[in-house]
Structure 1
Amino acid sequence: MRPSVFSVRRLSAVLLALAAAPWAWAAPAAATAIEVPVVQVRPQPVATGIEYDAVIQPVRQSTIAAQAAGRVVALLVKAGDRVKAGQVLATIDDRETQTGVQRSQAQVAQAEADLRNAKAQFDRTTELRQKGFVSQAALDSAEAQYKAALAGRDQAAAALRQAGLAQGYTRVTAPYEGWVLQTLADPGDLAAPGRPLLVLYAPRPLRAVVQVPASLDAVARSATRVEVQVPTAKGGATSWIEPTSRTALPAADPVAQTVEWRLDLPDAAASAVVPGQQVRVRFVGGSAERLVIPAQAVLRRGELTGVYTATEQGFMLKAVRLGADHGAAGIEVLAGLGRDDRVALDPVRAGLAGARPAAAAAAR
């Protein structure tokens, strides 16, 4: 059967539409081409030295322990609470100490009564001695009894003060303003003198504590400056700052064979870190030329670390091995890039279909 004229015309129209389809889609794609700025990688001088991981620690951190024996009646704070100096943190059963205070008060009252009696007897004996009715020995005996009563009154008063201190120890208070880091007891636990109840720390000042291998301690001590890498106000960005003071302990740990360095941070930098956070410490000894790239050019996806390099066809993803982070200078590249490679400053956009390098490339 021969096809009709209508069928031939319809087939021709479909073929013409299919032939024109690629041109119809190509025009918008070309019009919406994605241009990504790139930077040409060049070696540049950066600070060199040795780097280690450090831990942020508060300069003032205290383990608050009980000073009285008894059951913990109430724990008035929890981990994460902010406390003021003198604030009550916990209370201990004070029935025994309260009994001691009452006993001491009774002893003071008895001692004062004995003192009044001895004073009256001494006064009468003194008057009788002046009239010649008693001997000097009787006066001496009355004076001795009066002094003994006076000493007994002072001893009872001291015992009362001691009982008051023991009573005060049942109210555990904060020695300074700070944060509760950890609680080590619960209501109902038996407290004893020296048993820890909670851990308290002051939010300022903070310091970075780093363990330097004993074999490299001399290198660290000869460094021209020491820097600590801390986060900045911008999310994900870091900067290297110098500590306000640094202290190296004079002895090495006999097991780990490391020397502890304590680096006090300025308040401005301490506001960006918290105790327990890990940071990097660098002992700078000179400078050398290294291949570095901007931190914004690095793409991290799980265990993959790479950059998009510019080619004639667009962008190609390359895996790289990174070294030290030099802050504003960039991140050191140990392997994966050459001296003349151009990397995309926006790796997310560079991975999109149709992305092309921008016309002007900045030299780095």
Structure 2
Amino acid sequence: MIVRTELLTEPVKAFGTIAAKQSSAIGALTEGPVERIFVKVGDRVSRGQPLFRIRQADYQRNVAEAQAAVDLATAQAIEAERRYERVIALAPKGFVSKAQVDAVETQLAVARAQKAQAVAALGTTQQALSDTITRAPYDGVVTARLVDEGVYLNNRFAGGGQSAALQLQELGTVAAIVNAPQEYVDMLRRDMPARVFIEGFDAPFDSIVYIINDRVDPESRMIELRLPIANPNYRISSGLAARAEIQIPPEPAIILPRTAILGDSSAAHLFIIRDGKAQRREVRFDSIDLDKVRIRSGLAAGEEVILDPPATLRDGEPVKPLRTTGEK
């Protein structure tokens, strides 16, 4: 058989795992013991939905104290304004000194500043009270409960202790994170069409190459790809095994019947005919199907291959080719 190249459309196969679009360990915005958890593992939640609540008694007391401080500062500001108005009214008649006018102006400015400070402190305590209820940051699924009610949560990494109560994953869109051999790095492009086969599902899912990691793993010699998959009904769970077949443009390839290859994949060889003699040639190949292989190296177009060499054939042995009709 005279070797010729032909266009081969062979998908790149990549293997990996299904991952959520986002996965978050949801912690408390304020410190304190968990008073109530409103959800359980498996619940689907909407953005803004309450997830759990920190005990509110201390924060409610802080709000009451801050409100009292605002009331006090407001009363003092009113008194300062009245004093200021009385002094200013007497100033044109010469009944008060310049120093007295300056004093009441300063007292009024201080009282107004103290009121503004108290109002700001009240806002802070009110926000802290509101933050005792932790809400879902996005639509998702509760995938783990990390604490029970009564456990103290802190929001300081340096403080030690537990800081997260729940794990939440956004599964409306999932991603197949797969790894492809480095030899395809120059062929892969964003938006290439792909099919993703997921463990437990009979039919593949259509996708595209959305992200190509620029880093090639130096140990596995693989490149990471991410392929998004719409998952509106949350049918696909994170953690499932996935296999992607990425469609790359056709490229010239040497394809031979499997019967031409001798030996195993680690020491494969075949025989070509040169000057009327059999010549052993080491090759590398990939399987296309049960009957065909693609030669990666060791053979060039135009050379003549013995398709079904006998086991007794030796390198340098004289042979006579039996060409099929049309071969020269």
Is the TM value for this pair above 0.5?
Answer: yes
CA distance in 2, matches of 1:224, 1:166: 45
Give the deviation of 1:177 after TM superposition.
2.2
* 2:242 paired with 1:279: yes
Matched, 1:173 2:138: no
TM-superposed deviation, 1:201? 2.1
How far apart, in 2, do the equivalents of 1:290 and 1:126 lie?
106
| Residue 71 in structure 1 maps to residue 33 in structure 2 | yes
1:84 aligns to 2:46 (yes or no): yes
1:41-80 equivalences in 2 (<5 Å): 47-80=9-42
Contact 2:190 2:210 in 1 (8 A): no
Match of residue 67 from structure 2: 105
Matched, 1:248 2:212: yes
Residue 216, structure 1, aligned to residue 183, structure 2: yes
Aligned sequence identity (%) = 27
1:237 aligns with 202
Q: Contact 1:104/1:159 (CA < 8 Å) preserved in 2?
A: yes
| Alpha-carbon offset, residue 60 of structure 1 | 3.0
Q: Is contact 1:228-1:279 (8 Å) kept?
A: no
* Contact persistence 1:231–1:272 (CA under 8 A): no
Matching residue's letter, 1:200? L
Distance in structure 2 (CA, Å) of the matches to 1:148 and 1:255: 68
Corresponding residue to 1:264 among 203, 224, 228: 228
Q: 1:272 to 1:105 in 2, by over 3 A?
A: closer
Aligned equivalents of 2:104 and 2:291: distance in 1?
97
When you count helix as a share of all residues, which structure comes out higher? 1
Query: Which sections of structure 1, spanning at least 5 residues, go unmatched?
Result: 1-44, 292-322, 325-331, 336-364
- The answer for the alignment partner of 1:116 in structure 2 is 78
CA contact (8 A) 2:191 2:210 kept: no
The alpha-carbon deviation at position 257 of structure 1 amounts to: 5.8
Output the amino acid matched with 1:281: A
Q: Report which stretch shifted further, 282-291 or 123-132.
A: 282-291
AA aligned opposite 1:134:
V
Quote the residue 1:150 is aligned against. 112
Partner Cα separation in structure 2 for residue 86 and residue 76 of structure 1: 13
1:318-329 correspondence to structure 2 within 5 Å: none
Report the alpha carbon displacement of residue 255 of structure 1 after superposing the two structures with TM: 6.8
Change (3 A) 1:272 1:184: closer
What SS does the corresponding residue of 2:77 show, helix, strand or coil?
A: helix
The answer on whether the counterparts of 2:207 and 2:228 sit within 8 Å (CA) in structure 1 is no
Letter matched to residue 241 of structure 1: D
**Which letter does structure 1 place at the counterpart of 2:290?**
V
Provide the secondary structure at the position in 1 that maps to 2:171. Answer: coil
Q: Per-residue CA shift, 1:276-301, capped at 9, x if unaligned? A: 2221122333377799xxxxxxxxxx
The RMSD of aligned alpha carbons is: 3.3
Which residue of structure 1 lines up, in the alignment, with residue 319 of structure 2? Answer: none
Residues 246, 264 of structure 1: 8 Å contact kept: yes
The normalised TM-score by structure 1 is: 0.60
One-letter amino acid of the structure 1 residue matched with residue 179 of structure 2: Q
Q: Which amino acid in structure 2 is aligned with residue 162 of structure 1?
A: T
Whole-angstrom distance in 1 between the partners of 2:81 and 2:218: 68
Distance 1:224 1:176 in 2: 26
Deviation, structure 1 residue 71 = 1.0
Could you list the per-position Cα deviations for residues 296-340 of structure 1 after superposition, in whole angstroms to 9, with x for gaps in the alignment?
xxxxxxxxxxxxxxxxxxxxxxxxxxx78xxxxxxx4369xxxxx
Match of 2:175 in 1: 207
Ranges of 4+ aligned residues in structure 1 off by more than 4 Å: 252-258, 287-291
- Give, as a single letter, the amino acid of the residue that structure 2 aligns with 1:262: R
Matched to 2:32, the amino acid is: G
Mapped partners of 1:190, 1:75: distance in 2 = 13
State the Cα distance separating 1:223 from its structure 2 match.
9.0
**Aligned residues of 1:230 and 1:272 also touching (Cα < 8 A):** no
How far apart, CA to CA, are the structure 1 residues paired with 2:205 and 2:136? 35
Note the C-alpha offset of 1:66: 1.1
Shift of 1:133: 0.9
Once the two structures are TM-superposed, the CA of residue 176 in structure 1 deviates from its matched residue by: 2.2
Native 8 Å contact 2:211 2:226 kept in 1: yes
Aligned partner of 1:221: which letter? L
Q: Does structure 1 retain, via aligned residues, the 8 Å contact 2:171–2:231?
A: no
Structure 1 residue 252: Cα displacement = 4.5
Quote the offset at 1:111 in angstroms.
Answer: 0.7
Rounded Cα–Cα distance in structure 1 between residues aligned with 2:95 and 2:215? 80
CA contact (8 A) 1:57 1:206 kept: yes
Partner-residue secondary structure (3-state), 1:203: strand
Separation in structure 2 between the aligned mates of residue 271 and residue 81 of structure 1, nearest angstrom: 11
The corresponding residue for 1:193 is 155
Q: Report how many aligned residue pairs link the two structures.
A: 249
| 1:275 partner SS | coil
Q: Partners of 1:334 and 1:100 in 2: how far apart?
A: 78
